[in-house]
Chains A and B, each alone.
Chain A
Amino acid sequence: MIWPPEYRIRPARETELPALQTIEESAGEVWGAALGRSAIPFGVMPLAALDLCRVEGTLWVAADGDDRPVGFLAAGDLDGALFIHELNVAPQHQRRGLGAALLRAAIDHARWRFHPAVALTTDRYISFNAPFYARHGFVLLRPEDLSPGLKAKLASEAERGHDPARRVAMAKRL
């Protein structure tokens, strides 16, 4: 349930991409605080990457009552699965169900487009990371179950300075 009800989930527009970077930055501060280190070194999704998702129809925003984006989910195909690149909600709009609503939109889309699964990588311990996805039916993947693409994602995250002991891949079968 989204609260308040004037929020709505819709596809992102091209002009909104820079605003999505700002949302990711501000959400990164909350995420970094939960992790106990700054998220700044990890950067945000480049505009070109966001635009690829938008063109594919797999970039959704949660818009407020004035139709301004306050959260977004960016996804794309990875080994046939729909892979969630980023899911962020601006701090002042968190804890209102927007993340779950964005996630539902992505899952509906994946089902509709015959993706066998929705997949992602996330932090094992932060409450609004792996435990959040587990509540929505995602399961932790064992290293031997990873597709080549997911393996590569985790490897590149480790290279960029993420703690490999905390990063996990999860998937929800459809």
Chain B
Amino acid sequence: MAKAYWVARVDVTDPETYKGYVAANGAAFAKYGGRFLVRGGPFEPVLGSSRERNVVIEFASYRDAVDCFHSPEYQAALAKRAGSAEVDMVIVEGYDGPQPA
């Protein structure tokens, strides 16, 4: 089964508040098997717009990725960061078909 990913780009406007969210979101990721593949590493803004903090989190399935977002655990963490960041995020299904030759 294809995996699925949260792909998020974040500009933190209030680090003090946002810190509380970062400390709290682990419970949801632990419960739904979320694994950080990208966690704010160095990046090159080569095209278009970018944000300062880039994150990719892997889940075993699309279902897990969506359920994690809507879980009470994650929503509770999310409530802690209200107004402290501008975020673009999608949940996207992975691809496990053949690669171009």
Contact = CB atoms under 8 A, between A and B. Distances in A.
Answer yes or no: do A and B interact.
yes
Interface of A: 57, 108, 111-114
B94 to A, nearest CB: 24
6 contacts: A57-B26, A108-B39, A112-B22, A112-B40, A113-B19, A114-B19
Interface of B, secondary structure class, is helix
Interface residues of B, number: 9
Contact of B39 (A57, A112, A114): A112
Interface of B: 12, 15, 18-19, 22-23, 26, 39-40
A113 B39 contact: no
B22 A114 contact: yes
Nearest to B26: A57
A113 B22 contact: yes
Contact of B23 (A108, A111, A113): A113
A111 B12 CA distance: 13
Nearest to A111: B40
Contacts of B22: 112-114
